[in-house]
Amino acid sequence: MTRRALQKQREAEERAHQEEADELARQVAEQTALKDQLNQNFEKAFDTLTRRVRENHYIDKRRNIMLVWRDYIKQEKNAVNVIGAIARKTLRMEVFQRIRLVARENHMDKDACRKMNHFYRLVKNNLLKKAMVTWRKNSYAECVKSMLNMEQTYANTLESND
């Protein structure tokens, strides 16, 4: 009797194990089917979303925010580039203007020096001419005076000899 009871107990345990294994297999099959269904639903939803985005039927709110943000950033970047280009152009113009001003100042200084040297030469030459004329007049006057003195002396000597 114990053997039969043990055999019945063993069969009952085997049945319970088999039922538990079947239940677990069924649960695994349900979970696998649910996972496959979720994967299919996800793929279908993703395909639908990509098709809508590609054909411009629908744009997700988050994607729209990102697209608007991207466009805003592009505009800001372009504005910064334009401002930088304007600043560089302004700086170049200012540098060239300063170079022109310095060149003009140098030209004016050199021109003033040249004119002053020319004026100095004219004044110097004029003074030299006046001094030469004065010297010649004085020399002529001295020469004439000397000649008159010699004539008078000669005339006085001739008178005294007579």
Residue ranges of domains in the chain: 1-58
Tally of CA atoms within 13 A in the half-sphere of 3 that contains its CB: 0
pLDDT tens readout for residues 124-160: 888 888 888 888 889 889 988 888 888 888 888 877 7
Q: Which residues are CB-contacts of 119 (< 8 A; sequence separation ≥ 6)?
A: none
Angstrom distance (rounded) from CA 57 to CA 48: 10
- Residues of the chain with pLDDT > 70, as a percent, come to 98
Burial class (CB within 10 angstroms; exposed 0-12, middle 13-18, buried 19+) of 147: exposed
| CA separation, residue 88 to residues 97, 99, 100, 150 (Å) | 14, 16, 18, 90
Q: What is the pLDDT of residue 132?
A: 85
Residue 64: pLDDT band with limits 50, 70, 90:
confident
SS (H, E, C) the chain: CHHHHHHHHHHHHHHHHHHHHHHHHHHHHHHHHHHHHHHHHHHHHHHHHHHHHHCCCCCCHHHHHHHHHHHHHHHHHHHHHHHHHHHHHHHHHHHHHHHHHHHHHHHHHHHHHHHHHHHHHHHHHHHHHHHHHHHHHHHHHHHHHHHHHHHHHHHHHHHHHC
pLDDT of residue 162 exceeding 80: no
pLDDT of residue 42 exceeding 90: yes
pLDDT tens readout for residues 83-107: 999 999 998 999 999 999 999 999 9
What does pLDDT average to over the chain? Answer: 88
Q: Which residues are CB-contacts of 58 (< 8 A; sequence separation ≥ 6)?
A: 49, 52
pLDDT of residue 1 exceeding 70: no
